[in-house]
Amino acid sequence: KISIVTPSYNQGQFIEETIRSVLLQGYPNIEYIIIDGGSKDSTVEVIKKYEPFIAYWVSEKDNGQANALNKGFARATGEIFYWINSDDFPAKNTFGVVANFFARHPEYDVAYGDCFYIDGNYELLKVSKPRPFSKGDLIIGNIFDQPTTFFKAEVWGKFGQTREDLRFIMDYELWLRWALKDIRFAYCPQITVYFRLHGDSKSTNLQRVNQNENFALLVQLGNSGQVSADLVPKIKMGLKQLCLQSYWLRDSRQFWSLLVKYIKYTKAFPDFSLLLRGLLVLSGKGTMERMSQLKYKFQKAKAR
């Protein structure tokens, strides 16, 4: 039995496709739960249309996505848990693939797969094909996509829930917390999910929130003593990557903010790559733009 939770808020233009993608999986044993945060658009009207096939739904004010997930999974009774946001959708037969994977590989607790990023017009933007799981790689940066991730209910019961103080990286914090408890993750390329990027999506609008939450989480992890000595350098690498990410997004203010935090945490002078970016930031946005264009051309030529 697979329990699926969809947190939702004002995604009436997309949620019907998400609902149909769940109900039309062709998998015989699902429990679908929708937790809506009191949407003011057509969301409730759409949900009511499919009410006979939904195990539970509610539309009421909540404290954000993480709170909605915790409310939803508190009602879930399946052996496998999954959440899909109201603007994303799994490919057909994904649930069957997941159930077969866990049946064949009972030693794993979490399975993740390939994510196809699309825009509002279904144009393919990129394909994310993760590599096999590594705890160190996960610390450096999230190596797989939340919409592709299924996990055993017992893992949630022992080591959940999502942190409700996080707005953006509640999934990443969950994976890190589980990984440090030696929960076993596996890459299953047959899992396929579509992740929609559009003008109103959190992934588009909250880059700074994402980076700041991510940075604070890694610093907290580094100061907690939970990480083994061999993994401590990975935290520094992860913090450096966040600094570089803000640079390539040409967010000079955010770059300086993260660089100062990086120096405070490492208590060391930044390496050449960070110093070089600092000089380029001082040179102005025009220089940053030209460097970004050069990087894009280099990556395109390398891909050939």
pLDDT digits (tens, 9 = 90+) for 53-109: 999 999 999 999 999 999 999 999 999 999 999 999 999 999 999 999 999 999 999
Residue 113: which pLDDT band, with cuts at 50, 70 and 90?
very high
Give the residue from 165, 183, 39 showing the smallest Cα distance to 112: 183
Q: For strand 80-83 and strand 2-8, is the pairing parallel, antiparallel, or unpaired?
A: parallel
Strands 2-8 and 30-36: parallel
At residue 96, the pLDDT reads: 97
Q: Is 8 helix (H, G, I), strand (E, B) or coil?
A: strand
Type of residue numbered 290? R
pLDDT band, very low/low/confident/very high, at 204 (cuts 50, 70, 90): very low
Question: How are beta strands 124-128 and 185-196 bridged, if at all?
Answer: unpaired
pTM: 0.90
Burial (CB count within 10 angstroms: exposed 0-12, middle 13-18, buried 19+), residue 223: exposed
The pLDDT tens digits of the residues spanning 223-258 come to 998 899 999 999 999 999 999 999 888 888 999 999
